[in-house]
Chain A
């Protein structure tokens, strides 16, 4: 079972509308949680990064929230644009000494399509 699960798997919205993507994780505590945007065939680009103690982080029209009690993070996109069409990936990083090995856990992503 993946320790980082994202929903929905895919989403289609009209240009100009808002949307919210979800990320549920099992690990606690952790070093940081990041949201990446990945255009098809391109490398992921970091949108936001939050430490375990932060609740929200904004980057332009992107706002990420973190609820440590429910182990959920959300990425809210406002006033969507056609260029927002991409996959959005949630990544949880553990403190290195928690695992001594692989400390990165990736969600499988939400595929967002913005249509005119």
Chain B
């Protein structure tokens, strides 16, 4: 158990819908990262927050957005969902913003039908 929690574990929704994925970092970690992993694909970095502020952006679509709240939990919002958005979405956390010592959560499996 990495100490990073993600909810829900599974999510099935229809195209065009909007969903919110939630992540709670390890106790004491200030930085949160979001990744997308499509079937048989590598991890794609989406976005990073550090202590509530956006720190770095990767290959995140405009239909996706994220935020980190004062209690340091983070939410990833996916809107106007398409079939191709079906993937595993991982959250990771670290103490520092430099991603050293990054711990991954168990992931949320999103299926868009």
Contacts and interface: CB of A to CB of B under 8 A. Distances in A.
A66 interface: no
B98 A43 contact: no
Contact of B56 (A42, A46, A103, A106): A103
A95 B41 CA distance: 25
Nearest to A51: B100
A49 B100 contact: yes
Contacts of A102: 45, 56-58
B11 interface: no
Interface residues of A, number: 22
**Chain B binding surface, main DSSP class:** loop
Nearest to B109: A41
A43 B90 contact: yes
Interface in B60-109: 88, 90, 92, 97-107, 109
Contacts of A104: 33, 45, 58, 99
Nearest to B98: A96
Contacts of A31: 98, 100
B2 interface: yes
Contacts of A103: 56, 98-99
